[in-house]
Amino acid sequence: MPGTPDKETITTPLPSDSHIIKTLHGVFGFRSFRPNQEEIVRAIMSGRDVFAVMPTGGGKSLCYQLPAVLLPGTCIVISPLISLMKDQVDAAQANGIRAAYLNSSLSPQEQSSVIEALLSNSLDLLYVAPERFSLDHFQELLNQVSISLAVIDEAHCISEWGHDFRPDYLSLSDLVSLLPNSPVTAFTATATLKVQEDILRKLRLRNPLIVRASFDRPNLTYDIRFKENTSAQLVSILKGFKGSAGIIYRTSRKSVNETAAMLQSKGIRALPYHAGLEGEERKQNQEAFIRDETDVIVATIAFGMGIDKSNIRFVIHADLPKSIENYYQETGRAGRDGEPSACIMLFSQADIPRVRFFIDTITDEDERTKALGALKKVISFASTTVCRRKTLLDYFGETYLADNCGSCDICLGSREVTDCTVEAQMLLSAIARTEERFGATHIVDIVTGIKNKKIRDFGHDRLKTWGVGKDRSKTFWRHLIDELLAQKIIARAEGLYPALYLLEKAVPVLKGNANVEMIRVKEEKSIKKPAIDHTEDYDRSLFDLLRALRKELADEQNVPPYVVFSDRSLREMAAMKPQNEEEMLAVNGVGKAKLSRYGKPFLDLIRRHCNEHPDET
């Protein structure tokens, strides 16, 4: 069976604590483990299976890469993300790890070279797709090599209850029997308790260590804003993130193209990404984003799973995400380096019919019901007046104990409750007096006193409600319509003509027997770009020089800049200003391999800057 030649994985003595910490620092440049990492590493080192749910940015890769370095044999990583494998291998190699990937993007000669390295026991890590792993000839190849451990990345793909189910993952159910002498581990960033139970049942892990890390991402802020003029709102938001990397998610390819073009016309470095682009253009746009050559990617959800970029400072959902799992995973692409980052959603009840239209085209009844249920949960999350963080964590079965998270629009006091009963009566009266035949735009035109051709043709400028709300902005009235829809006081007809009509709860409101309260955004307190809260100040001009050097070296070696050093490492360099190799090794993320490869040019730059600016040293 594959993995049976590797008797050493059981008989080899475990490395001492000091050796593990020494390797952690020497290879990865870290002095200590992050939460849950040490427990997982020690379980793997002792030969135990592991199932771990850890949020994006929680340090999953170190949990298996460190044992892969310490244990004899090769660690096989099964990942669905072919586009991500090269970046993961580049990052591992930059740390001095013997890593490779085997997939269809390689030429026959390159594949032969990887197989030769595998057979000669010259690899610590090998990344493969589940489709390749399930092939008979690949499993025969594994018969000839020592397997230190097997890793299933994105393990939620094996569950039909997961948000990215992949039928090819079902073949991994036999992994434990295929590798009887090697620990089998499974990692995922998003799994409800139901999905977790399904994964464990299908994989049949042997007495696994089960780690369910907190889903909380303290460095992320959550902000949901009323959606009105999407283009103007996006431009306004991006002004606060000038020079920072971010993703804007749109639902359709058309809206992706239009938004990217609009941002480009405003002088913002933005590119589109969706499945309708030519393969080469899609690849070039993704590469430009990864290599810091463009700031913003406007994308459908096809984008994101294939990147490992750590310094994404914001994720904006300009349309409703498909599910809470999708929202969590997509927002999780921000701030993977632990730095403060923003997650912003633009939401309006007017988006719901468009999403419903696509859901209604699903022919499978079970899938359609599932999609509708997921949509309802997203709408509830966007409409709630409860802390966003608490609501999000509650979805994944986790209790958030703090009364105020201090980093969402609700807890930051950017919203206030206002009695809008009189204004609601104006809207309801306008809907009733127009015989429930018109949509939101026309009703708002009536109450704000607009006298366009349509208003005149229908004689609606002679209604008692015409112009009664002209002292309020159209934004206010549209927001109030959203609130009435959310509170089920009115409803919107489905189909081509989404007319508003009254529901039973409208009667007591019109009679003055029930009040309507609306959550309003205090514009002056809306969440802005998260403040970078560093423990040390740093030299901004030196940081910019270090970033430029990083980009230059990354381009020379054809790797993303973050593979050379993370933003956090550069900030520490700009704060500590190391003058020799020993001081450089004290910087977070600088291990021996990176010091050997990149240390000299960075030290030379820092020394030169210090000599030119002695007063700042």
Q: Are residues 96 and 188 in the same domain?
A: yes
Q: What is the average pLDDT across 153-163?
A: 80
273: β partners: 299
Letter string b/e over residues 543-578, b meaning 16 or more CB atoms within 10 A of that residue's CB: bebbbebbbebbeeeebbbbbbbbbbbbbbbbbbbb
Strand order in the sheet with 147-152: 99-102, 125-128, 74-78, 147-152, 184-188, 50-53, 209-212
Specify whether 247 is located in the same domain as 202: no
Show the tokens assigned to 171: 């073949």
Least confident of 148-152, 302-306, 502-506: 302-306
The reported pLDDT for the residue numbered 6 is 40
- pLDDT on residue 357: 81
Mean pLDDT within 66-89? 90
Please indicate, yes or no, whether residues 177 and 253 belong to a single structural domain of this protein: no
Report yes or no on 109 lying in a domain.
Answer: yes
In a domain, 531, yes or no: no
Q: Do both 153 and 280 map to the same domain?
A: no
Based on the fold, state whether residues 303 and 441 are members of the same structural domain: no
> What is the mean predicted confidence (pLDDT) over 304-329?
85
Determine the average pLDDT of the residues in 62-73: 95
For residues 228-250, average pLDDT = 93
Q: Are residues 373 and 233 in the same domain?
A: yes
Query: How would residue 304 be classed by pLDDT, with cut points 50, 70 and 90?
Result: low
How do residues 371-400 score in pLDDT, each as one tens digit?
899 998 998 898 887 899 999 999 988 899
In the predicted structure, residue 533 carries a pLDDT above the cut 50: no
The Cα 599–Cα 25 span in angstroms is: 16
Q: Which of 493, 521, 549 is the last residue of a domain?
A: 521
**More confident site: 303 or 386:** 386
Q: Which of 248, 252, 250, 251 minimizes the C-alpha distance to 314?
A: 248
Q: What is the pLDDT of residues 113-127, one digit of tens each?
A: 999 999 999 999 999
Q: Are 504 and 398 within one domain?
A: no
Calculate helix-pair angle for 17-28, 592-612, nearest 10 degrees: 50
3-class secondary-structure state, position 101: strand
The predicted structure's pLDDT at residue 282:
86
Confirm whether 92 is domain-assigned: yes
- C-alpha count within 13 angstroms, C-beta hemisphere, residue 213: 25
Of 521, 551, 583, the one marking the end of a domain is 521
Q: CA 25 → CA 70, 175, 265, 367, distances in Å?
A: 13, 32, 46, 47
pLDDT at 14: 63
The CATH number linked to 600 is 1.10.150.80
Band of the pLDDT at 536, cuts 50, 70, 90?
low
Ranges of beta strands (E only) in 348-432 are 415-419
d(CA 265, CA 285): 17
Domain that holds residue 599: 540-616
Indicate the range of 7-16, 92-101, 236-245, 601-610 predicted with least confidence: 7-16
Residues near 46 by beta carbon (within 8 Å), at least 6 away in sequence: 14
Question: Which one is predicted more confidently, 537 or 359?
Answer: 359
Q: Which long-range contacts (CB under 8 A, 24 or more apart) does 377-383 make?
A: 377/323, 377/324, 378/320, 378/321, 378/322, 378/323, 378/324, 378/327, 379/320, 379/352, 379/486, 381/324, 381/327, 382/224, 382/320, 382/345, 382/347, 383/347, 383/486
Q: Are residues 563 and 605 in the same domain?
A: yes
The pLDDT-based confidence of 163 (bands split at 50, 70, 90) is low
CATH (domain of 426): 1.10.10.10
* pLDDT over threshold 50, residue 256: yes
d(CA 571, CA 539) in angstroms, rounded, equals: 8
- 483 in Cβ contact with 415 (< 8 Å): no
CA–CA dist 609, 547 (Å, integer): 14
Q: Output the pTM of the full model.
A: 0.78
What band does 38 get if pLDDT is binned at 50, 70 and 90? very high
User: Is 494 domain-assigned?
Assistant: yes
Q: Is residue 526 part of a domain?
A: no
* 532 part of a folded domain: no
511 and 387 share one domain:
no
Q: Which residues lie across from 391 on neighbouring strands?
A: none
| Tokens encoding 313 | 């400072």
Where does a domain end: 408, 428, 463?
Answer: 408
Mean of the per-residue pLDDT values of the chain: 87
Residue 430's Cβ-side half-sphere holds a number of Cα atoms within 13 Å equal to 32
Could you give the CA distance from residue 407 to residue 531 in angstroms, rounded to a whole number?
A: 11
Answer whether residue 10 shows pLDDT above 50: no
pLDDT digits (tens, 9 = 90+) for 401-436: 888 999 998 888 766 778 899 999 999 999 999 999
Q: Examine residue 57 and state whether it is found in any structural domain, yes or no.
A: yes
Q: How many domains does the chain have?
A: 4
By the 8 A CB rule, do 190 and 397 touch?
no
CATH number of the CATH domain containing 263? 3.40.50.300
Both 202 and 261 in one domain: the answer is no
How far is the C-alpha of 13 from the C-alpha of 45, rounded, in Å?
10
pLDDT of 527 higher than 70: no
pLDDT in tens, 439-497: 999 999 999 999 999 999 999 999 999 999 999 988 889 889 988 988 889 998 876 77
The C-alpha atoms of residue 536 and residue 3 are separated, in whole angstroms, by 48
Q: Which residues of 465-482 are buried (b: 16+ CB within 10 A; e: fewer)?
A: bbebbeebeeebbbbbbb
Kindly state whether residues 464 and 440 are assigned to the same domain: yes
Question: Does 445 map to a domain?
Answer: yes
Q: Are residues 274 and 392 in the same domain?
A: yes
According to the model, what pLDDT value does residue 183 have? Answer: 95
